[in-house]
Amino acid sequence: MRELLSDLQSWRGRGEAIALATVVKTWGSSPRPAGAKMAVNERGEMTGSVSGGCVENAVIEEARNVLKTGQAKLLVFGVADEQAWEVGLACGGTIEVFVEKLEC
């Protein structure tokens, strides 16, 4: 979380709403461990990472929806082994990412 602080402070200073995405569970091979975090502001800017790039765009889109609705969401990303390399989840890994509006 410390690596996100500078961007979070800057975004808060501009009065922007922020969503926080956290990897809460992994199975198999996963690019980032449980606890990895990414923050997204209402303009779609992001800081941090929950997947090393393979599902970041989908998480950004869902984070922006969370900011609009105020409803937290649990996302699950996983693929079969033969598709794994195409999206970056090697060996059929699966991750769960919890996205919530950051309240400060």
- Paired tokens of 22: 């956290």
Least confident of 50-54, 57-61, 80-84, 92-96: 80-84
Please state the pTM of the whole predicted model.
0.85
Overall residue count recorded for the chain in this entry = 104
Instruction: Provide the residue range defining the domain that includes 17.
Output: 2-101
Q: Which of 45, 33, 36 is nearest to 1 (CA)?
A: 36
Say how many domains are in the chain: 1
The answer to whether 63 and 21 have CB atoms below 8 angstroms apart is yes
Task: Give φ, ψ of 95 to 5 degrees.
Answer: -130, 150
pLDDT single digits (tens) 14-25: 999 999 999 999
